[in-house]
Amino acid sequence: MQPEKSLTDTEFIALRDFIYKKTGILFSERNRYLLDARTREILSQARDKNAVSYIRSLCGPGGDPLEVNRLINKVTITETSFFRDPHQIAALTKNVIPEVAARHEQFGSRLLRIWSAGSSSGEEAYTVAILLAEHLKGRLSDWNITIFATDINEDAIEACKAGVYKPYTLRNVPRDLQEKYFLATSDGRFAVRDEIKRLVFAERSSLTDPAACKKYSGVDLILLRNVLIYFTTDAKTAVLQSCYENLRDNGYLFLGQSETAFGINHSFKLVTFVNAFAYKKPLPR
Amino acid sequence: MSKTLRQRIEAIRTYLPPIPGVFAELAQLLHDENVDLRVLGLVIGKDPAMSINVLRIANSAFYGLPNKVKTIEHAVTMLGLKEITGVCMACAAARSFKARTGEQHVDLHAFWLHSVATGVLARTFASRFRVQQQGQAYLAGLLHDIGQLILDRFLHDLYKQVVQLTYDENIPVIEAEVRVLGESHGTVGGWLMDKWQLPPLFSEVATCHHTVSKASEENRLIVATVSLADQIARLRGFGFGGDETGVILEDTEAFRTIQQAQPSMGELDIARFIMDLDRTDFDIASIEEMMNAT
């Protein structure tokens, strides 16, 4: 078998610049391998299998917007799973969710908003919904909960709306929770039960569009995990600023487990949990 | 209540029971008349209980030294093989103080691991923050929670209520102690260290590791360093008890004290700093491995 063809430098730059212009997402040299892997199929179907001429065809007068969408959907797809990163899950379960819920109870407001930003196909948003349901036990229906799941990738948002998953993405879900919150489908997959599904509101949205981000304001918790790596420093600054503005006082932002907001945003307070970090919006002085 | 508690603590005459793994290793080493005292010191230095036992004798009136003995190496060299063997034999008797089976008590292995982790991290931080008493940082970290061992061993019925409370309510252990006992393990550890005439640095670290601003100016930086090491040990998974609360480290007394002495701390990416402590995790894990092998 022939080894898979990798992108040449010229091809990589052409693709990188086009995607950056369309989405604000930047595939740096560090993430070149991702762009390479994610465009392989599309390029193998392209007329002369060359990224430079493929991009040229998309930009030209006969460029097909559907093909542009297809490319964007291919390159922005990310793998995720339920109950990813046990330490962050523990911090949410033992600290953040009880604290946020208690604060609302204290002020007699049961309106809770959460934002899963760069949600991919929704596993993270539904995980938080399950954690909330577990914390609130039988009182879930007393609360008005909205978990926004946004992503730039249309395919991912459609998958989130469908809420049906392959068994592999459920591998970290404890057995009792799997039985409680999922229904097995006839084709061997698992559908999120309605009581959880109705908490999540999924839509396509770009994080680099500050006006669009304003829609997800007044939230108590933002999950922005493993998303910043795709942005330039300026875009990172803007995205974190949007998160800061969208959070309520004392709200929490979670980044990916190896990411930090240091040097990008100094308004947050870093909270260290057991093997996990979160950024808290402090009360105004 | 606190006076009675203090009297009960100060009345403790027996040695503190060593961790079984360390005890077994020591017993094996002491069979050899030609054992290297440095090796003996290294093994003793892995266990808070044996370390405090040895420091207690070295600093007792019997030896009447003009200066305090501040390191295990010094204590072991001074006492010699015969005396150390004597302490170990006395400790063998003290081991009977362990809790009855089936009771809720301090998880000894987790206590020990937390003590070692705090010692290792304190040593790393002391060198990084250029703390004057760098040489004592490991031992000060190793001994900082000795009050918990004392309470669990000698006032077990009361202390099991404290342990239960931390699990039930996910609250810091110190909060549970004050509610049940009226005092913290830090204060209790300090009482016994003072009674046993240990160098003041150790008792001050034990007493003030949760209240850094109360430490003397002379020892405040080492107290802050151990306090930060204590918190980061827990937050890196070397904790014990049910406390899993989060901490804004930059707002702690410990961090601020260190920052005052080292203004460059303000530029520290704390998350990255903690993530990058893998090397110390490795040191801690290798000590644990040695323990499990015995």
Per-residue model confidence (pLDDT) at position B92: 74
Rounded to two decimals, the pTM is: 0.88
Name the residue of chain A whose CA is nearest to B248's CA.
Answer: A271
Q: Would you tell me the crossing angle of helices A51-59 and A9-23 to the nearest 10 degrees?
A: 30
Domain shared by A129 and A270, yes or no: yes
Q: Give residue limits of the domains in chain B.
A: 14-97, 108-293
CB pairs under 8 A between A and B: 56
Chain B CB contacts of A228 under 8 Å are none
Same domain (yes/no): A31, A164: no
What residues make up the domain containing A127? 86-280
Instruction: Give, as one character, the DSSP assignment of residue B71.
Output: S
Interface contact A56, partner B, CB < 8 A: no
For residue A116, what are the β-bridge partners? A149, A223
- Mean pLDDT score across all residues of chain A: 93
pLDDT of the residue at B292: 65
Does residue A3 form part of some domain? no
CB contact under 8 A, A272 and B249: yes
Please give the DSSP secondary-structure letter assigned to residue A187: T
What ipTM was estimated for this complex? 0.87
Domain B108-293 class, CATH top level: mainly alpha
Q: Which residues of B touch A91 (CB under 8 A)?
A: 244, 246
A32 and B CB contact within 8 Å: no
- Name residues of chain B where pLDDT drops below 50: 96-97, 99
DSSP-based helix, strand, coil % in chain A, nearest 5: 50, 20, 30
Cβ <8 Å between A272 and B246: yes
Distance between CA atoms of residues B230 and A82, nearest Å:
33
CB atoms within 10 A of CB A47: 8
Following DSSP, what letter does each residue of B244-262 receive, concatenated? ---B-GGGSHHHHHHHHH-
Pairwise CA distance, residues B243 & A94, whole Å: 10
- A248–chain B nearest CA distance, Å: 18
Q: Is residue A31 part of a domain?
A: yes
Q: Is A278 helix (H, G, I), strand (E, B) or coil?
A: strand
Position A1 confidence tier, pLDDT thresholds 50, 70, 90:
very low
- Quick check: A2 pLDDT over 50? no
What is the C-alpha to C-alpha distance for residues B204 and B219, in angstroms, rounded to an integer? 8
CA atoms within 13 Å, Cβ hemisphere of A230: 25
Boundary of a domain, candidates A48, A75, A102? A75
Instruction: Provide the CATH number for the domain around residue A266.
Output: 3.40.50.150
Nearest to A260 among B236, B245, B269 (CB): B269
**Are A37 and A126 in the same domain?**
no
**In a domain? residue A2:** no
Q: Is A95 exposed, middle or buried (0-12, 13-18, 19+ CB in 10 A)?
A: buried
Cβ contact (<8 Å) for B248 and A271?
A: yes
CB distance A277–B271 less than 8 Å?
A: yes
pLDDT per position as a tens digit, A101-133 = 999 999 888 999 999 999 999 999 999 999 999
Of B239, B248, B275, the CB nearest to A274: B239
When divided into structural domains, chain A yields a total of 2
Do A148 and A69 have their domain in common?
no
Q: pLDDT at position A47, please?
A: 82
Nearest C-alpha in B relative to A95: B245
pLDDT per position as a tens digit, A21-58 = 888 888 888 888 889 999 999 999 888 889 999 999 88
Mean pLDDT for A93-98 is: 96
